[in-house]
Amino acid sequence: MTIRSAPEMIDSQYTNYLDFILNNYNTIDRKEDNRLQWWKEAKFGLFIHWGLYSKLAGRWKDKEINGLGEWIMYFGKIPIKQYEVIAQEFNPSDFKAHEWVKLAKDTGMKYLIITSKHHDGFAMYHSKCSKYNIVDATPFNRDPLKELANECHKQGIKLCFYYSHAIDFHHPHAFRNDIFHPNRKTWNFEVYLEEKVKPQLRELLTNYGEVSMIWFDMPEQIEPKYSKQIKELVLSIQPECLIGGRLGHGYEDYVSMGDNEYPEVVYDFPWESVGTINDTWGYKEYDINWKSSNDILRLLTTIIGRGGNYNLNLGPTSEGVIPKPSCEVLKEIGEWMKKNGEAIYGCQGSPLTYNVAWGAITTKTNRIYLHVYDSENEEIELLGICSRVKWAKILSNNTSIDFQQIIEKDRKEIKVKLPQNIRSKYITVIVLEFEDEIKVEMTNEVAGYITLVPSNATVHRAKTDSRLQVDKRGIAINWVNVEDWLSWEIELTKPGDYEIEIITRTQKYNARWKGEWFGQHQFLIEMGEQRINCKLQEDKRVRPTELYYYDNIISKCGKVRINKKGKHQFKLKPIWLNTELNLGPKVCFVQLKKLD
């Protein structure tokens, strides 16, 4: 079977990203394969974007250049000759490998990924196959990756290299570089692969001791045979080295989400989310949109709670200094991690079948960790857990917590009393220790709410030109054909009136997506005999704290009356879709709220 990359899923037989992963990843998490073990245990890593672009810091010829800092050569259309000159002044005399690695360690991160060569093509280490590198082309005359490698090995942090294998603005035969090579007559990716990618990977895997992962990027245009060759090369030199989630075509060891993205649901295959601490990866002097330590901790716990790993990025300056606000945030995260690390390292995502509104859940052996962000209520309720709780405590200080548990045929309920000071600055972790292995029953009903996510839906596709997909995050996308629809089977424990809301996602910052929210889509909801016509309009806009790029739009869709408990079919069928920009509504979930 040919291996497709995510965008090519469209027109393929897969409507759900989960099915796609399970059918197309030929290497992912093979059971006999222990290579991923350290990574699954580690959970939290540091990402560092550092290169010539850090020197420009987001400005070219005194103009602020839009877009990500490390892409400045591209967005500023800086000709190669002019960009090369930056190297002559790149002298990070304040760079201290010891401090960078110690920062990662003190923050509770277990691995470090640093850009060895980004899209600009400049090697941040001593490469023998291209003079365009930090030792030969700058006055610095040191190999910072060598120094980082030594420190990582000394301080017990796993060393990983980012390597841009498909895009290289400097090399004439790589992707996305036409504007830099206007006089190029021929183009042959293999020339770039053989001349630069393979020799440089050999150097990185030979001269820096143990390398725990190569983090590839932007595989959109690469052919499967080249992804395969790259993987084989890496494993032939260091068989234990992990293949990052963006090599392309299923040759990766795990799934990498889009930048700053994570799924709506828990995934039990290995996946990661990479995130920025402000809005850029490479340093931009005027990007001061720093997330707070609390924001990052919410992201971290949400991601671990959905089964992923989190790599948080820093963009140091060209002097080798990590911006102070980032250091302060990391310091506070480190303090939290020292007390609460047990609820992160080696943990799996929530065993429950629904998301909780008050925070996130992680689990390990016989324990469940409740990461409480804030809660207006005095207690929190967990439904569907069949195993018996032994005790409940606050993880950071061992204080016992009161709880009640009911285990009956139709009712499995744990109520945990929240301490008074739960609205303190940071997330409070409550541990529940169970008598034996944790067993859970399917339930999509949480304290009066039923949440229906597209990744658990049955996708009904139009006979022709069906485009509806459930993407990596579990969101329904490309809903532009009115004959595509979704259905869910739901189990209700209480009859009564339910209010229906449809929650769609819209982009907040990125200009490319501006105007994406056109709304007004019309749907028909069917439940048993009942039919409800509704229009998706912006009744409320919420900005979940853990989402920095998106807003959720809540549309109120009316009420259904359910006369008996038990199983019901819920159908969501479009009547009219606004297909402006060919996008349609991005449906995150449908919520049914019980009315008293």
Measured at the CA of 55, the angle between CA 221 and CA 73, to 5 degrees, comes to 30
Residue 218 is a binding residue for ligand GLC (CB under 6 A): yes
Nearest to 330 by CA among 45, 18, 579: 45
DSSP 43-72: -EEEEE--SHHHHHTTEETTEEPPS-GGGH
The distance of closest approach from Cβ of residue 455 to ligand GLC in the complex, given in angstroms and rounded to an integer, is: 23
Which residues contact residue 421 at a Cβ distance below 8 angstroms, ignoring those fewer than 6 apart? Answer: none
The distance of closest approach from Cβ of residue 274 to ligand GLC in the complex, given in angstroms and rounded to an integer, is: 4
The distance of closest approach from Cβ of residue 490 to ligand GLC in the complex, given in angstroms and rounded to an integer, is: 37
The distance of closest approach from Cβ of residue 215 to ligand GLC in the complex, given in angstroms and rounded to an integer, is: 8
C-alpha 346/C-alpha 105 separation (Å) is: 17
Between 218 and 233, CB nearer to ligand GLC: 218
The distance of closest approach from Cβ of residue 315 to ligand GLC in the complex, given in angstroms and rounded to an integer, is: 10
Across 352-361, b (16+ Cβ under 10 Å) vs e yields: bbbbbebbbb
Between 30 and 77, CB nearer to ligand GLC: 77
C-alpha 225/C-alpha 233 separation (Å) is: 12
Nearest to 10 by CA among 592, 582, 593: 582
> For ligand GLC, which stretch binds (CB under 6 A), given 56-64, 65-73, 130-138, 347-355?
65-73
The distance of closest approach from Cβ of residue 313 to ligand GLC in the complex, given in angstroms and rounded to an integer, is: 7
Between 115 and 451, CB nearer to ligand GLC: 115
The distance of closest approach from Cβ of residue 276 to ligand GLC in the complex, given in angstroms and rounded to an integer, is: 8
DSSP character at residue 463: S
Binder of ligand GLC out of 28, 48, 57, 68 (CB under 6 A): 68
Nearest residue to ligand GLC on Cβ basis:
274
The distance of closest approach from Cβ of residue 145 to ligand GLC in the complex, given in angstroms and rounded to an integer, is: 16
Sign of CA dihedral 178, 181, 187, 193: negative
Compute how many residues bind ligand GLC; rule: CB under 6 A.
9
On the 0-12 / 13-18 / 19+ scale of CB atoms within 10 A, 172 is buried
Between 218 and 583, CB nearer to ligand GLC: 218
Between 216 and 373, CB nearer to ligand GLC: 216
The distance of closest approach from Cβ of residue 581 to ligand GLC in the complex, given in angstroms and rounded to an integer, is: 22
Nearest to 495 by CA among 540, 448, 446, 534: 448
Mark residues 4-43: x for contact with ligand GLC by CB under 6 A, - for none.
Answer: ----------------------------------------
Nearest to 275 by CA among 333, 340, 339: 333
> For ligand GLC, which stretch binds (CB under 6 A), given 68-76, 94-102, 315-323, 471-479?
68-76
Between 246 and 594, CB nearer to ligand GLC: 246
Between 15 and 280, CB nearer to ligand GLC: 280
The distance of closest approach from Cβ of residue 13 to ligand GLC in the complex, given in angstroms and rounded to an integer, is: 28
- Judged by CB under 6 A, the chain residues 325 through 354 that form the site for ligand GLC are none
Q: What is the layout of strands, in order, in the sheet containing 379-383? A: 379-383, 412-417, 403-407
> What token pair was written down for 16?
């759900």
On the 0-12 / 13-18 / 19+ scale of CB atoms within 10 A, 337 is buried
| Beta bridge mates, 535 | 522
> For ligand GLC, which stretch binds (CB under 6 A), given 64-72, 76-84, 89-97, 406-414?
64-72
Between 6 and 218, CB nearer to ligand GLC: 218
Q: Counting runs of H as helices and runs of E as strands, what totals does the chain give?
A: 13, 31
Between 216 and 523, CB nearer to ligand GLC: 216
- Judged by CB under 6 A, the chain residues 246 through 285 that form the site for ligand GLC are 259, 274, 281
The distance of closest approach from Cβ of residue 433 to ligand GLC in the complex, given in angstroms and rounded to an integer, is: 37
Long-range contacts of 170-179 (CB under 8 A, 24+ apart): 170/80, 170/120, 170/121, 170/122, 170/132, 171/121, 171/195, 171/196, 174/121, 175/218, 175/221, 175/222, 176/74, 176/119, 176/218, 176/221, 179/74, 179/77
Between 270 and 384, CB nearer to ligand GLC: 270
> What token pair was written down for 187?
């183009």
The distance of closest approach from Cβ of residue 49 to ligand GLC in the complex, given in angstroms and rounded to an integer, is: 6
Between 218 and 524, CB nearer to ligand GLC: 218
C-alpha 46/C-alpha 381 separation (Å) is: 34
Beta strands 550-562 and 428-434, pairing class = unpaired
Between 217 and 501, CB nearer to ligand GLC: 217
Task: State CA 37 to chain mean position distance.
Answer: 19
Between 68 and 503, CB nearer to ligand GLC: 68
Q: Is 277 left (phi over 0), alpha (psi -120 to 50) or beta?
A: alpha
Between 70 and 264, CB nearer to ligand GLC: 70
> For ligand GLC, which stretch binds (CB under 6 A), given 63-71, 104-112, 142-150, 352-360?
63-71
The distance of closest approach from Cβ of residue 258 to ligand GLC in the complex, given in angstroms and rounded to an integer, is: 8
CA dihedral 117, 120, 124, 127 (to 10 degrees): 70
The distance of closest approach from Cβ of residue 334 to ligand GLC in the complex, given in angstroms and rounded to an integer, is: 23
Tokens 């082309």 identify what position?
Answer: 137
Mark residues 487-526: x for contact with ligand GLC by CB under 6 A, - for none.
Answer: ----------------------------------------
Per CB under 6 A, residues contacting ligand GLC are 49, 68, 70-71, 217-218, 259, 274, 281
